Amino acid sequence: MELWSDSWTNGDRIPARFAAGRLAEDGSVGFSDNLNPHLAWRELPEGTASMVLVCHDFDVPSRPDDVNQPGREVPVDLPRVDFFHWLLIDLPPRPTVIAEGEFSRGFTPRGKPGPASLNGARQGLNDYTGWFAGDAQMAGQYFGYDGPFPPFNDSLVHHYVFTLYAVSVARLPVDGVFSGADVRAALAGRVLGAATFSGTYTLNARLAQNP
């Protein structure tokens, strides 16, 4: 089983158009194009009934003390946690491609609608739902893909992993609104195969100038 993309080379820096946040030439940070990347797959295991796609960042600071604070950086040695950027389940195995921008174009304040999505698939809540929960202008349910927007002062370049699972059931047993934890639990015992594709991203001007 193989997963690849025409949007960037596996493991390389993610182009800004696939991110939720962009670093401007003057050093300021703002919203970006937030396009979902092109993804394609082949050599699925026999018996594959549906696909599940999960995108997560495993470099998110475990404490918010220094996050986006001018004049200081988030320490490299701070423990890190997962942040889910995309949960797409019940995706038909064919066609074997997701087109660039097919599921996301632009960043939507208060979140894009869900869970129902294209081709009978369902999308879960990404973790911007929790991030913006206390913001009166942005709070809402963020379904589907919303790309990288790491802290502008993080001393660590973030890694984003797209994992595609071949699943033995046509409908994953999660109901209603679901989270990354729900998807991981429902996948247990139902995965026939998996493949990954990844990239890196930073909004720290110092790190961006020294790839």
Number of domains in the chain: 1
Evaluate if residue 210 carries a pLDDT over 70. Answer: no
pLDDT digits (tens, 9 = 90+) for 135-187: 999 999 999 999 999 999 999 999 999 999 999 999 999 999 999 999 999 99
pLDDT digits (tens, 9 = 90+) for 40-71: 999 999 999 999 999 999 999 999 889 999 98
CA torsion sign, 183 to 186 to 188 to 194?
negative
* Structure confidence at residue 172 (pLDDT): 98
Closest CA relative to residue 128, chosen from 175, 72, 87, 73: 87
What confidence tier does 26 reach under pLDDT thresholds 50, 70, 90?
Answer: confident
Name the β-bridge partners of 54: 87, 163
* pTM, entire model: 0.96
Q: 135: Cβ–Cβ under 8 A, 6 or more apart, which residues? A: none
Which CATH number goes with the domain that contains 199?
A: 3.90.280.10
Domain hosting 18: range is: 2-208
